[in-house]
């Protein structure tokens, strides 16, 4: 064990809508250029009941402007990210002044200085805090960010590190795009933030035997060749336009099973040793493909399906919300191994091997 996760907290915007409301508002922005029945069918198939947005729904009907949307991204992103970080630190009796490293991840807006620098000034992080912004990893960044915390704390075993994810997907809405990718994205993605607080193995708080404070044992990154156009953004005058290939579930079926088997084998484990999963809610078809790749039933990914239903896909923040829900509502058995996994632009995946404290080693 090189790192202990102490706390995971999510933060959501105050505007919460049923899927049907979002579908109606979205189709109104597209006007007569789209078959509303098709949009409604796509959105029903997402298995999403409610989502949160950073703006009231009626404001998305205004003509799009990348600059104005990005200003909202920065303002609201700092507020949500700061709230998630402060709540996660308070959860374990720490303050912003205790933080040695902060890693931030986002893919739904641009900020220079980056979001964690702005949050540092807002909440009072130390002037010597080490910052690492991760931009462009998309949905995989929640799991990758946890892995990077582990990398940092290997070199500072008495340190405190924070991961902050902020994703405001609604601000990337393309009001003139009737492509299947945009229709799917409009029914799947939501807004939110999350934060993880972790400590190195020599920190006093690492000695807890609470199974809701898992150890990180190892991680593995995987970049798949010739898959750059599977997922991502095209950047134009109207902002960020979704790239989302329908063959993503096939790629998951083709690669994830072998990747997981190889990763576990390198640590003397098999899939039978994994008692709990923390998976990113990429969408119903991706989750079904993941279940096939892992040879597990739907219940093994129940927290992920539940998160998808309640808040949609929050890009990098989603897997962290799933982790928070898992630790709060379904604490893993002491001594059990868990696997966090996510996929994202590249196309790539990230695997993180977890272990609940307690039990026999």
Q: What is the pLDDT of residues 12-22, one digit of tens each?
A: 999 999 999 99
In 60-107, alpha helices (H): 66-90
Query: What's the mean pLDDT in 57-61?
Result: 87
Would you say 360 and 335 are in contact if contact means Cβ atoms under 8 Å apart? yes
The whole-angstrom separation of Cα 90 and Cα 9 is: 10
pTM across the whole model: 0.95
pLDDT of 246 reads 86
The 3-class secondary structure across 132-161, one letter per residue, is EEEECCHHHHHHHHHHHHHHHHHCCCCCEE
Share of the chain above pLDDT 90, in %: 77
- Does residue 61 have a pLDDT over 90? no
Cis link prior to 347 (omega < 30° from 0)? yes
Percentage helix, strand, coil, to 5, in the chain? Answer: 45, 25, 30
Residue 272 pLDDT > 90: yes
Does residue 361 register a pLDDT over 70? no
Measured CA to CA, the distance from residue 105 to residue 142 in angstroms comes to 7
| Chain mean pLDDT for the chain | 93
- To 5 degrees, how large is the angle CA 290–CA 296–CA 302? 80
In angstroms, the CA 78 to CA 289 distance is 35
Domains with residue ranges and CATH for the chain:
3-207 (3.40.47.10), 215-355 (3.40.47.10)
139 counts as catalytic: yes
Say whether pLDDT at 316 is over 80. Answer: yes
Please check whether residue 191 is in contact with residue 314, taking contact to mean a CB–CB distance below 8 angstroms.
yes
Token pair 């994703």 is found at: 167
Distances (CA, A) of 185 to 118, 142, 159, 263, 351: 29, 19, 39, 31, 25
| Angle separating helix axes 19-30 and 36-44, nearest 10 degrees | 150
Give the whole-angstrom CA distance, residue 361 versus residue 359. Answer: 6
The residue from 105, 139, 169, 348 that is catalytic is: 139
* pLDDT at residue 237 tops 80: no
Give residue 82's pLDDT band: very low, low, confident or very high (50, 70, 90): very high
199-216 per-position pLDDT tens digit: 999 999 998 888 889 999
Tell whether omega for the bond before 113 is within 30 degrees of 0, i.e. cis. Answer: yes
Alpha-carbon distance values, 104 to 6, 69, 326 (Å) = 17, 20, 22
Provide the token pair at 65: 């402007």
Residue 123 has pLDDT above 70, yes or no: yes
Beta-ladder partners of 3? 200, 216
Distances (CA, A) of 122 to 71, 78, 96, 103, 242: 17, 8, 10, 16, 31
Residue 317: both structure tokens together: 């923040």
Question: How many angstroms separate the most distant Cα atoms in the chain?
Answer: 63
pLDDT tens for 102-114 read 999 999 999 999 9
∠ CA 147-149-153, nearest 5°, is 120
Contact 289, 253 (CB under 8 A): yes
Cβ-Cβ contacts under 8 Å for 104 (sequence gap 6 or more): 81, 114, 115, 116, 119, 131, 132, 133, 134, 163, 164, 165, 166
Distances (CA, A) of 316 to 18, 70, 141, 172, 319: 22, 18, 5, 15, 7
DSSP 263-332: HHHTTT--GGGEEEEEE----HHHHHHHHHHHT--GGGGHHHHHHHHHH-B-GGGHHHHHHHHHHHHSPP
């Amino acid at each position: 064990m090189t790192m202990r996760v102490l706390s995971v907290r999510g933060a959501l915007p105050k505007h919460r809508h049923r899927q049907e409301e979002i579908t109606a508002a979205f189709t109104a922005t597209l006007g007569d250029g789209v078959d509303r029945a098709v949009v409604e069918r796509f959105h029903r198939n997402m298995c999403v009941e409610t989502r949160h947005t950073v703006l009231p729904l009626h404001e998305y009907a205004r003509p799009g402007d990348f600059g104005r949307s990005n200003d909202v991204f920065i303002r609201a992103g700092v507020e949500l990210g700061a709230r998630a970080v402060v709540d996660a630190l308070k959860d374990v009796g720490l303050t912003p002044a205790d933080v040695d490293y902060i890693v931030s991840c986002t893919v739904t807006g641009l900020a220079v200085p980056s979001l964690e620098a702005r949050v540092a000034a807002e909440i009072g992080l130390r002037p010597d805090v080490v910052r690492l912004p991760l931009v462009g990893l998309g949905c995989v960044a929640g799991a990758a960010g946890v892995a990077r915390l582990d990398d940092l704390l290997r070199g500072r075993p008495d340190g405190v590190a924070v991961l902050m994810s902020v994703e405001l997907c609604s601000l990337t809405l393309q009001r003139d795009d009737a492509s299947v990718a945009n229709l799917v994205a409009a029914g799947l993605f939501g807004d939110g933030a999350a934060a993880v607080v972790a400590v190195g193995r020599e920190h006093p708080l690492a000695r807890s035997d609470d199974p809701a404070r898992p150890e990180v044992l190892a991680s593995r990154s995987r970049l798949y060749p010739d898959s750059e156009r599977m997922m991502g953004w095209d950047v134009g005058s109207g902002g960020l336009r979704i790239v989302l290939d329908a063959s993503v579930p096939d790629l998951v079926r083709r690669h994830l099973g072998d990747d997981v088997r190889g990763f576990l084998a390198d640590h003397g484990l098999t899939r039978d040793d994994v008692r709990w999963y923390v998976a990113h809610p990429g969408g119903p078809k991706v989750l079904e493909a993941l279940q096939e790749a892992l040879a597990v039933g739907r219940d093994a990914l129940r927290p992920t399906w539940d998160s998808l239903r309640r808040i949609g896909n929050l890009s990098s923040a989603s897997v962290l919300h799933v982790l928070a829900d898992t630790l709060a509502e379904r604490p893993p058995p002491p001594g059990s191994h868990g696997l966090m996994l996510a996929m994202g632009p590249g196309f790539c995946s990230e695997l993180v091997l977890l272990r609940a404290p307690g039990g026999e080693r």
